[in-house]
Structure 1
Amino acid sequence: MISRETSEEASEEASEEEYDRRRHAQWCAGEARADGVARRDMLRLLAAAGAAATLPPVLGAPRAQAAGGAVAAGIVKPLPADRFTIRGTNAETKFEALAQTGFHTPASHFFVRNHTATPRLDAKTWSLKIWGDGLRGAGTREFTLADLKRLPSTTRTAFVECAGNGRSFFTTQQGGEVSGTAWTLGAIGNARWRGVRLSEVLRRAGVSRHAVDVLPSGLDAEYVTDDGTNLGRVRRPLPLSKAMDDVILAYEMNGAPLPADHGYPVRVLVPAWVGIASIKWVGDIEVSSTPLYSPWNTRFYRLFGDQYPPEGSAPLTRQTLKSAFELPWNASLPAATTHHLTGRSWSAAGAITRVDISADEGRTWHRAHLKDTPHRATWTRWTTPWRPNTPGPTTLLARATDTTNHTQPETTAHNTQGYLFDAVVRHAVRVV
């Protein structure tokens, strides 16, 4: 029997692919906009079957720059070495640093994904502009932070995870070449977010029955690629159906105002979707009666490679399934000692139902104890005892299964930009 969640997952994926096909047709007919994407790039993305499937040079991961050209990490909060690995303009959380942090990730440990640099915004002068031909009437609607806080609030625990989380394992475990930030598994954080539903704000702004797409834009600096192409501010369209569903305009994180690096004063939160959809420092939302594209769902955040169509997959939406040990890489563990291994597993499609652990290259598996009540779009902590007796190098494996009956595979299909890695990660340790 197919579960309701499995059926809903298949339906969501099918509807997203159909939605993208309609947008392709409408763009070709001149009925959709692709601001910031050159026509030649769109033609390549929309090429007929049989065109070259290799990754064009323009699709390589761009270097984060401010429009003025200066490269800088641009992160405001402290990044102590025991918590973070610095990766250019980004900071990856070390999973071992999460061992004592509880279910919600403190802001002090939450990873940072910046395209340019964290802007310093004043909440007193900040406002959210909502505009476009998908609204009834004419003109722009503006909401201050005080306006948003007067609206009914909602609170939700959800993870935010970069689409490239786990990217490095395409190379280190599978021998493939990929472009982009070489994340291990720490480009994720799970927090309790409070804000107002985007649907509430759109209704008050006068969203019309003709609206099809919603395009949030951030207030960080414009994004310039290595070849000097200015792609403008980070922005990515959402189907109106998703925007009116579970998307939140969040102004609090774990009971406090959003920190600067995490979107202060207001960010978009799109539960379960790839992190790029959750635009930080949002200041502008276009509501459109025609389909929209941006570089962040054409040039980036699609799957390209030998196993995908020449134009790439549909734009990425939901994240995937992963597990991680709360251990340093190549940790030294004493022999003849019982160790209580801990870790976390998460899925965007369903709740975690079980986590299996292997310490013998996958020959045998035993079930870990789940410490949390599992929910979709959050993670579940787990623990398991392990008593190694033989000194030397070994590998620990953690394999999760969710309520859609999806279990982490041995390998992930290769894609050139290294997105959505979901295979079981081989975590090397040394018994001493």
Structure 2
Amino acid sequence: MISRRGVLIAAGLTVLPSRAVAAAAPSIVKPLPASDFIVHGTNAETRWEALRDAGSLVPVSKFFVRNHTSTPVLDSAAWRLRIFGSGVARPLSLSLRELRALPSCSVEAVIECAGNGRSFFSSQQGQSVAGTPWALGAVGNARWRGVPLPVLLRLAGIRRSAVDVMPAGLDSEYVTGGVNLGRVRRPLPVSKALDDVLVAYEMNGAELPFDHGYPARLVVPGWVGIASIKWLGSLEVSDVPLHSPWDTQYYRLLGPDYPADGSLVTTQVAKSAFELGFGASVPAGRQVLTGRSWGPGGVRRISVSVDGRTWRRATPVSRGGWTRWQIPWQATPGSHVLRARADDQPDVSPYNTQGYLFGAVVSHPVTVA
């Protein structure tokens, strides 16, 4: 059997010395240098300081990874995309070549884990939450190319009675607490599926990498990352509502302010981040602070505070899937807390036990020497 090192070499990826790797992450194919990533078990979080000179599109080498199990290394020649169910008149089974022959488009879009920012419920709001302790690096922006999902659904003869589309991945079945929940899958309402969803086979002008969904994945702009199923294998279209553990057990807002069975997590919330490490040390004198802000509908304005009292408007550098911005700062020696706000980001994020959708302004400590 080919080793993971062999997979990396076959994929044209550099195998880094072990001392340059953040931590063991056997579930992920690509290298994870500690300068770019913080590893959380089967996941890898992008360090914001690694994006300072990266441009608007996050390079594949720096793009965060969210895996429920392990990255599968799939054979594209054997891969098929099945479209079936009571909601279509003409079930389909498409090869990758057939998929790529269909009308395509490209879109710049952010993919963001629903739990991005989760650690700040604890560190900033003093609340206990469950799940991977992401800071703000479970997010990335890329240019995706593929076939609009409406094209595929109409090719399959979607019925007027169809209500849900269930995409399912081809990664390993997810087992937790001794219970096998099957492959990762989560339904989309037909209204969203027929809107702006893409079945993507390229990322930033090249074929999808293994860790990001090769040979094809969904891209669901504005919605939490779980909706953008990677390693897409099938699309069930149904004229009755569909469900899975990823919309009944997980990705629901639970807590004292929600119904007993919770509220379904769909769209993301606005966030802002500085392109600096937390607790970074910067030299005194004139500095230019840079960062990015994003939200499901884009952002209109970004404000920055360096003293905890006054706010100044930042200057946009580029817009697209997210907005890059900058602002000058006359840094004086000592400890400082930086804050960035996109539009009307709140100071406190509504609590939920799973730590989803943290959207409060984050306090970012730095030291000026």
- Does TM, scored on the shorter chain, surpass 0.5? yes
Instruction: Kindly indicate whether residue 120 of structure 2 is the aligned counterpart of residue 173 of structure 1.
Output: no
Instruction: Kindly indicate whether residue 339 of structure 2 is the aligned counterpart of residue 339 of structure 1.
Output: no
Q: Which amino acid in structure 2 is aligned with residue 411 of structure 1?
A: V
Q: Is the 8 A contact 1:73 1:88 kept in 2?
A: no
The equivalent of 1:108 in structure 2 is 61
2:206 equivalent among 240, 256, 265: 256
Question: Map of 1:12-411 to 2, 5 A cutoff?
Answer: 73-136=26-89, 140-225=91-176, 227-313=177-263, 315-335=264-284, 337-348=285-296, 350-361=297-308, 363-373=309-319, 375=320, 378-389=321-332, 391-401=333-343, 407-411=344-348
C-alpha separation between the residues in 2 aligned to 1:246 and 1:83? 31
The equivalent of 1:47 in structure 2 is none
Cα deviation for residue 72 of structure 1 reads 6.3
Q: Which runs of 4+ in 1 moved over 6 A?
A: none
Cα deviation for residue 73 of structure 1 reads 3.7
Q: Is the 8 A contact 2:25 2:39 kept in 1?
A: no
SS at structure 2 position matched to 1:171: helix
C-alpha separation between the residues in 1 aligned to 2:70 and 2:168? 15
Kindly indicate which of the two structures has a greater share of residues assigned to helix.
Answer: 1
Q: Which amino acid in structure 1 is aligned with residue 183 of structure 2?
A: R
C-alpha separation between the residues in 2 aligned to 1:102 and 1:202? 35
Q: Is the 8 A contact 1:319 1:347 kept in 2?
A: yes
Supply the RMSD in Å over aligned alpha carbons. Answer: 1.1
Q: Is the 8 A contact 1:266 1:282 kept in 2?
A: yes
Cα deviation for residue 427 of structure 1 reads 0.2
Q: Which amino acid in structure 1 is aligned with residue 281 of structure 2?
A: S
Q: Which runs of 5+ in 1 are unaligned?
A: 1-70, 402-406
Cα deviation for residue 394 of structure 1 reads 1.4
Q: Which runs of 5+ in 2 are unaligned?
A: 1-23
Q: Which amino acid in structure 2 is aligned with residue 126 of structure 1?
A: W
C-alpha separation between the residues in 1 aligned to 2:324 and 2:94? 38
Aligned residues: 346
Cα deviation for residue 261 of structure 1 reads 0.1
Q: Is the 8 A contact 1:72 1:117 kept in 2?
A: no
Cα deviation for residue 388 of structure 1 reads 2.0
Q: TM-score, normalised by structure 2?
A: 0.92
C-alpha separation between the residues in 2 aligned to 1:419 and 1:294? 18
Q: TM-score, normalised by structure 1?
A: 0.79
Kindly indicate which of the two structures has a greater share of residues assigned to strand.
Answer: 2
Cα deviation for residue 124 of structure 1 reads 1.1
C-alpha separation between the residues in 2 aligned to 1:334 and 1:242? 48
Q: Which amino acid in structure 2 is aligned with residue 410 of structure 1?
A: D
Q: Is the 8 A contact 1:73 1:90 kept in 2?
A: no
Instruction: Kindly indicate whether residue 364 of structure 2 is the aligned counterpart of residue 427 of structure 1.
Output: yes
